[in-house]
Structure 1
Amino acid sequence: MDLYNYLKALHLIFVITWFAGLFYIVRLFVYHAEAVDKPEPEQGILINQYKLMSRRLWNIITWPSAILASVFAFWMLFFTPMGKAWLAMPWMHIKLGFVFLLYVYHLKCHQIFKQLQRDQIKYSASFFRLWNEGATLLLFAIVFIVILKSTLSWIFGVLGLFGLAILLMIGIKAYKRYREKHPNA
């Protein structure tokens, strides 16, 4: 049981740093997209700085955290008795489905990261603000599934997730209106 608890602690640490990286990388995407509208030399200075910050965050924190979180998760699930028991439970299958979506999100962020590194800006700052909420929704879904397990009514859980998504979108629109009225805020 001690090994399992160490694995779980390491898994949680790297999940936290992985999400921190995902949240921050998309904020850097927002700033990068906004920097395009700045005059030179400010534009060039900002874009070069955001590219450097993104590269360091993505390669030194986010990718290693994703890999290590996965290594410790696989170790727990496939090489400990507790993990093998959890693999038989329906809530774990749902959680792993959301983790799969998290990897899809991560890989899309990687694609965007590579585009921005090549100065290919295909999305607006508004898109990136909305895109940033994808990680938030996945975090909420995964944490609630893990904590509540089979006690969660899936109907209410899904409705709650949609409610959270709606609240996030309303908040983003309100913030956008506020920024339009107060551009220097």
Structure 2
Amino acid sequence: MYLYIKALHIIFVVTWFAGLFYMPRLMVYNAEAGAQPEPARDILRNQYNIMMKRLWFGITWPSAVLTLILGLSAWYQLGVFPDWLKIKLLFVIGLFFYHGSLHVIAKQQWKGNFKYSGQQLRIWNEVATIFLVAIVMLVVVKENMSVVWGLLGLILFVVLLMSAIKIYKLVRMKK
């Protein structure tokens, strides 16, 4: 039974991350639609709001809940609490806080309150990638990874990711 629960857990992790990756992109497009003239602005924002609500409540939230339930079930069946799993759970808790922050931003946008620019949302979009890399590395490498090298690798990854965002912004501005 453990392997079936683990497989389902992984499937819902994938669908949850699909939502976590796409939702901020829709938020970027929704925020940037404000630069469009009427009636295009209203048409775009209405469409993005529909897409965001369907993605968020139809895929992302259910996947997050099922990921949590199945992950806790797999952990219970595993019957142990190794160090790598403790660290992974800290990242998962952080991921749920990130999920919650997206929910807050989405609710603001649905009400027509756009507090963040497209560029700020592009940067925020990459937070899910950082969590994904950290969690997958912990699950696959487990105790074979030193904490120091793991953190250094994660910091290097973040620096590279932020550099890529900055380069992409420069390329977009030239066009």
**What TM-score do you get using the length of structure 2 for normalisation?**
0.98
Specify the alignment match of 2:38 in structure 1: 40
1:119 is the counterpart of 2:137? no
Specify the alignment match of 2:9 in structure 1: 11
Number of residue pairs matched? 175
- Counterpart of 1:30 (choices 28, 31, 34) is 28
Specify the alignment match of 1:21 in structure 2: 19
**How many angstroms apart in 1 are the aligned matches of 2:10 and 2:149?**
26
Runs of 4+ in 1 over 2 A off after TM superposition: none
Tell me the percent identity: 49
Unaligned runs of at least 5 residues, structure 1? none
How far residue 15 of structure 1 moved from its aligned partner, in angstroms, is: 0.2
How far residue 74 of structure 1 moved from its aligned partner, in angstroms, is: 1.1
Secondary structure of the structure 1 residue equivalent to 2:115: coil
1:57 is the counterpart of 2:55? yes
Specify the alignment match of 2:86 in structure 1: 93
Secondary structure of the structure 1 residue equivalent to 2:126: helix
Specify the alignment match of 2:68 in structure 1: 70
Unaligned runs of at least 5 residues, structure 2? none
- Partner amino acid, structure 2, of 1:45: I
How far residue 75 of structure 1 moved from its aligned partner, in angstroms, is: 1.0
- Partner amino acid, structure 2, of 1:58: W
How far residue 130 of structure 1 moved from its aligned partner, in angstroms, is: 0.3
**What TM-score do you get using the length of structure 1 for normalisation?**
0.93
1:139 is the counterpart of 2:137? no
**How many angstroms apart in 2 are the aligned matches of 1:133 and 1:51?**
21
Greater relative CO (CA pairs within 8 A, separation 6+): 2
**How many angstroms apart in 2 are the aligned matches of 1:11 and 1:70?**
8
**How many angstroms apart in 2 are the aligned matches of 1:171 and 1:152?**
26
- Partner amino acid, structure 1, of 2:144: T
- Partner amino acid, structure 2, of 1:26: P
Specify the alignment match of 2:168 in structure 1: 175
How far residue 84 of structure 1 moved from its aligned partner, in angstroms, is: 1.5
How far residue 153 of structure 1 moved from its aligned partner, in angstroms, is: 1.2
